[in-house]
Amino acid sequence: MKLTPEIRVLHRGPDMVGEGPIWHPERRELLWVDILARMLHRMPLEGGEPRSVTFDIPPAALALDTTGKVIVAAGTGWYRLEDDGRLTALAAPSGSGEGWRMNDGCTDRDGRFWTGRIEEPRGSGVEGCLYRLDAAGAAPVLGGLRTQNGLAVSLDGTTLYLSDSHPEVNAIWAFDLDRATGALSNQRVFHKPRAGRADGAAIDAEDCYWFAEIDAGRLVRLAPDGRVIATVELPVSRPTKLAFAGPDLRTICVTSMSILPEDRDPAREPLAGALLAFEVETAGALPTPVSVLPGQD
């Protein structure tokens, strides 16, 4: 079913690589990043000019902890965003080296922060990897990835979703997630996009998986069995990730990229890199705050 909501522009940007949107319910504002500009933005849903901070490293995935502080996966580690805009280091993978950066992330229902890495600069030859951040530190869980994306966890906390949006892979997988240990098992194909590639994702209150189909210019809603049940066409060809926002979590906010393929005319896509929003009937599921960090019991 093709949905046709009224889509509004919250911020024209343009972001080079807009990513990682999250809703802060206490502050009633949306946060997102521009990875390549090394910026984090925050603003109310009414729109306007965002309050922004620039970092020395590229930010990627965002989450909230139990105190409402923002946890940022950036560069090659995880940080806490302080009130003055500084980043306080929390953890980094051991022996991580260079040639990569953090990419997409999500929390599970038990407060762990899952984050993947991709090679940066492209062509560096570093293998993509999925990490689990918890009280024990940063553990590599899955290797062999090309362009990690699509992280989300089911409402009951027992299924983790992960995509690889590299053109040569382009698949969304589901895993059984052991809530007690954080171990993954039973990897299987959940969905294979046909029009574009599987980018960032979110779960709604009916346990359906929404993902941004980059290069197809749309969002896709999947049933828990992987069937397409709804799509939303967007005025940008490269949406990157979505988040449910607002007091009732019925506003979907979508980040996008202004960097387009060489064969695409930027003049035909004036909203590329904009932050977009529209309303939906089914509310989203609020992500669980990060509650287990290194040094915490």
Rounded CA-CA distance 235/274 in Å is 10
Residue identified by tokens 């590329």 is 272
What residue numbers does the annotated binding site cover? 19, 101, 103, 149, 199
DSSP-derived 3-state class of residue 280: coil
- Cα-Cα end-to-end distance for the chain: 46
Three-state DSSP state, 85: coil
Residues shown for the chain: 297
The DSSP code for 122 is T
Binding site listing for substrate: 101, 103
Asked if 151 contacts 106 with a C-beta cutoff of 8 angstroms, the reply is yes
Distance, CA of 153 to CA of 171 (rounded, Å): 16
Q: Is 134 an annotated catalytic residue?
A: no
CA pair distance 71, 62, nearest whole angstrom: 6
Helix (H) or strand (E) holding 106: strand 100-107
- Catalytic choice (104, 199, 204, 215): 199
Active site residues: 199
